[in-house]
Structure 1
Amino acid sequence: MPEETPVVPAVIVGAGACGLTSAIRLREAGIDCLLLERDSVPSGSTALSSGFIPAAETRLQRELNIEDSQALFAEDVTEKTHGQAAPHLVQAYTRGVTGAVDTLERLGVKFEILDGFLYPGHRARRMHTTPERTGAALMACLERTATTAGADVLVESIVRELWLDEDDRVLGVGYASPDGAIAHVACEVLILACNGFGGNAAMVRELLPVMGDATFAGHTGNDGSAIAWGTALKAQMADLGGYQGHGSWITPQGALMTWAVMMEGGVQINARGERFQNENNGYSEAATGVLAQPGTIAWNVFDEPVLALARTFPDYMEAEKAGALRRADDVAALAALIGCEVAAIQRTLDGIAAGATDSFGRTFKRSLQAPYYAVKVTGALFHTQGGLNVDADCRVLREEGSPFPNLLAAGGAARGVSGNEVWGYLSGNGLLSAVGGGWVAGGTAATQIQDA
């Protein structure tokens, strides 16, 4: 490191949900920290999401008499991945996220728990959200909580260099300001909480070829820099084939449509007037199903009761205001909207009946009734779920398996808990890894600094 470099106990690369959660835990321990954020305003993937944090055994769950447990939550995460998710991280994150949510609430963040439906794979109501039900609102709460607690956030600062000694101990980082000049800061512990690689088209084509031509609906800062640093340092990588897709990216408006529409009776219909998958399996794997349809599009079709539910989600309402919603008063009008034969759409609707189980394995609670509503969607890549391999304390692992002395990673920079396939993503896994992982990494950093 250059001489006279300023020293901060903990440096955090990225002020998204993961980095801010780590900072909050460090400040709870009385430890100074600096977050280096590439954007002018902290946002990241979280700001583009619905902002729902899954957590079990929280104070709020107990207050609402919701029966749940961290063990049940861990089982749900593991079952969604067919056993692929790293067990040590599933346990660490499902425990860690509870501590994070309860602490955030104690520090003034108001949470609610989504009611009325369950996302695919969840057996209990555990989605914690701010009253606004947006990722942007959650980010604002996290940033306010972190800075109020005393964390320093330096925006428009892109980390370009990691400095390590001959023993692989991090000495500090170099970061670029808007004018391109490189400044340096030394640290006792470095947390990589920066990004995945969904915004790096070349890496997506190499590692996720099925999504090579898909719309990227995530944050452009997901450029794969954490993986590039890890490769240079000869660190382990894991689950690079895992990612969160979404089968309900509204087109051409460009917005995420809540999957609650599918869980409460909506269906996806292609240009031939046919359904093509079990919509209740999950929105992540639905992305590849939609992309395989003619024109890489589908129509989300639903009726009045489902529309009322959709209108409780702000992101959907913005898309409706932009003209995404279409109404069809009868089957013929719906066929004309989709561009298929009336007989085809009638056969599809006839298969949706109370108690009926279709060939995809979905059992319906009721039929759809006119008037029908439809929203045109495509499949999109939202964010990746693989990255640097870490142990249960979020310490980055070398190729031979031992941890780097003071290099930590979590959130988008690290391996998540979604396994190595698109279908392994359980709703909320991104924020589970970000908030749960950020909490764990912050705790590990605090311990290392206090024990030094």
Structure 2
Amino acid sequence: MIGVASPEDVEFPVWVQTIVIGAGACGLTAALAAQDAGGEVLVLERDESPFGSTSMSSGFIPAAATRWQHEQGIDDDPSLFLEDIQRKSHDRSDPTVAAEVVDAIGPALEWLEDEHGIPFEVLDGFLYPGHRKHRMHAVPERTGEALLTRLLQAVMAAGIPVMTDARVTTLFADEDGLISGVEVARPDGSTELIGCDGLILACNGYGGNPEMVAEHIPAMAEAEYHGHAGNTGDAVVWGEALGAEVRDLTACQGHGSLAMPHRILITWALMMEGGIQINRNGDRFANEHQGYSEQAVDVLKQPDGVAFDIYDARLHTLGLEFPDYKDAVNASAVRQCNSVEALAEHTGVPLENLMAAISETHEHGVDRFGRDLGKTPGLQAPFFAVRVTGALFHTQGGLAIDGEARVLRDDGSAFPNLFAAGGAAVGVSGPDISGYLSGNGLLTAVALGRIAGEASVSSW
């Protein structure tokens, strides 16, 4: 069980200035920032080795006005990025957090490259839903696993200790909310007490807690969960026990294109550049140019919660630029069909309905779902198909924080030395699934991770 206890009569045999709970992109960024600010840092990771939601993501981080954009002639600025975030959430994103992260993310990426040798590049092949500029940044390998590996290598090079197989169960806090340390449970049943001057919660959200998902996001209660099982909502539980405010627990990132049964993410670039989704009846059912997050709900509403991504050779070539898609091809999740008849046979949908759906892609103007069909070429044989479902990737709500990532109480005051970032903190997607703008998860993980790391040192 996890919880909060009084530090009275508790002695901590080990002490460190800043403890970071969680070794994903957020926690590792926070650790690097805290050490660069002059602090002594310890990262506590519940798993045998760092993995987490970062490794399961695409690894793409949106940022505005970066040097990489400038080198490619991309004119962008944080205010435009902020407008895109608020437009996607219908002006319901936390204004303080959103304003902070759009300003902080560009300098954070440049700092990671300059000080810690993590290279980034801009993806300019297509625009993700809701973004008006090419602002997705990635490491050269273009995977979340590679991003996490590079961050972990940087942490190791900096000499920052990462204690694995270390599940934090208890936070020790006095009546004023001052955190004095934590209790860590080890796999053999033993426990350790570690004292600290500052604590950063970087342990993501609650996507791996079915009860919390059913309570706060019922539309995704039966969805495939494509996040880390360790995201069980510990930060929310601790925060509520301390009297912290929680915000937007109904928010999350879904994805409408998870290949099944292979559980491999199929890039949404295929839909944005001209692909369509059909259900078992061979019918299109939504605007594929809306966000892939809310598309998850539309897919789950279809018979058996199943859809098929349908696209052509032009888009197949585009997909091969993404490692996840290559994995899907190698796993035989992608099927090539040389005619519409073969495509109907493979998918098992009525030929007449399928022909009508493909014919729509050759039309011009805005269709019944609100998609402007004239923006992309019509689909041509040979066709490609992937069987997909809607999935929950991670939650977007969490502990309320101020501009320095300090956790806030219900009355709006800040805890003296408790910080939250990434999925542990309120995100910038507003209160529901439709507010998620591509990249919001890693945006807050990296930007708030750096902010929290630096602030945890200046709070001493």
Q: TM-score, normalised by structure 2?
A: 0.96
Deviates more, 1:269-278 or 1:349-358: 349-358
Superposed displacement of residue 127, structure 1: 0.8
Aligned-residue identity in percent: 49
Following TM superposition, where does structure 1 have runs of at least 4 consecutive aligned residues deviating by more than 3 angstroms? none
1:85 aligns with 2:93: yes
| Correspondence for 2:3 | none
1:373 aligns with 2:384: yes
Q: Is the 8 A contact 2:236 2:398 kept in 1?
A: yes
- SS for the counterpart of 1:162 is strand
1: CA distance, partners of 2:175 / 2:206: 28
1:355 aligns with 2:364: yes
Q: Is the 8 A contact 1:32 1:150 kept in 2?
A: no
Amino acid at match of 2:430: G
1:69 aligns with 2:77: yes
Q: How does 1:277-296 map to 2 (within 5 A)?
A: 277-296=286-305
| Correspondence for 1:158 | 167
1:278-308 deviation per Cα after TM superposition (whole angstroms, max 9, x unaligned): 1111110000000000111000000011000
2: CA distance, partners of 1:80 / 1:148: 39
Q: 1:235 aligns with which of 231, 235, 244?
A: 244
Superposed displacement of residue 36, structure 1: 0.3
- SS for the counterpart of 2:378 is coil
1:118 aligns with 2:127: yes
Superposed displacement of residue 183, structure 1: 0.5
1:33-74 deviation per Cα after TM superposition (whole angstroms, max 9, x unaligned): 101001121121110001001111222222222111011111
1:142 aligns with 2:158: no
1:184 aligns with 2:196: no
| Correspondence for 2:51 | 43
Q: How does 1:428-447 map to 2 (within 5 A)?
A: 428-447=439-458
Q: 2:408 aligns with which of 375, 388, 397?
A: 397
Q: Is the 8 A contact 2:312 2:384 kept in 1?
A: yes
- SS for the counterpart of 2:372 is coil
Q: 1:415 aligns with which of 422, 426, 435?
A: 426
Superposed displacement of residue 232, structure 1: 1.1
Amino acid at match of 1:430: G
Q: Is the 8 A contact 1:354 1:366 kept in 2?
A: no
1: CA distance, partners of 2:156 / 2:459: 22
Q: 1:249 aligns with which of 249, 253, 258?
A: 258
Superposed displacement of residue 354, structure 1: 5.4
Amino acid at match of 2:203: C
1: CA distance, partners of 2:315 / 2:208: 33
| Correspondence for 2:66 | 58
Q: How many residues matched?
A: 449
Superposed displacement of residue 356, structure 1: 3.4
Superposed displacement of residue 4, structure 1: 4.8
| Correspondence for 2:106 | 98
Amino acid at match of 1:82: H
- SS for the counterpart of 1:404 is strand
Q: Is the 8 A contact 1:288 1:379 kept in 2?
A: yes
2: CA distance, partners of 1:290 / 1:221: 26
Q: 1:7 aligns with which of 1, 15, 40?
A: 15
Amino acid at match of 1:384: T
| Correspondence for 2:4 | none
2: CA distance, partners of 1:3 / 1:241: 39
1: CA distance, partners of 2:136 / 2:401: 26
1:321-380 deviation per Cα after TM superposition (whole angstroms, max 9, x unaligned): 111011222122222222222111111111112533211111122110011100000000
2: CA distance, partners of 1:391 / 1:427: 23
Amino acid at match of 1:90: A
1:75-106 deviation per Cα after TM superposition (whole angstroms, max 9, x unaligned): 11111100010111011111121121001111
Q: Is the 8 A contact 1:269 1:300 kept in 2?
A: yes
1:246-304 deviation per Cα after TM superposition (whole angstroms, max 9, x unaligned): 00010011111110111111110111111011111111000000000011100000001
| Correspondence for 1:32 | 40
2: CA distance, partners of 1:185 / 1:64: 47
Superposed displacement of residue 195, structure 1: 2.0
2: CA distance, partners of 1:37 / 1:92: 27
2: CA distance, partners of 1:367 / 1:213: 34
2: CA distance, partners of 1:54 / 1:287: 21
Unaligned 5+ residue runs, structure 1? none
Unaligned 5+ residue runs, structure 2? 1-6
Superposed displacement of residue 391, structure 1: 1.2
| Correspondence for 1:315 | 324
1:265 aligns with 2:285: no
1: CA distance, partners of 2:298 / 2:259: 15
Q: Is the 8 A contact 1:85 1:419 kept in 2?
A: yes
Q: Is the 8 A contact 2:60 2:138 kept in 1?
A: yes
- SS for the counterpart of 1:279 is coil
Deviates more, 1:436-445 or 1:146-155: 146-155
- SS for the counterpart of 1:123 is coil
Superposed displacement of residue 392, structure 1: 1.4
Report the RMSD for the aligned CA atoms in angstroms.
1.1
2: CA distance, partners of 1:4 / 1:111: 41
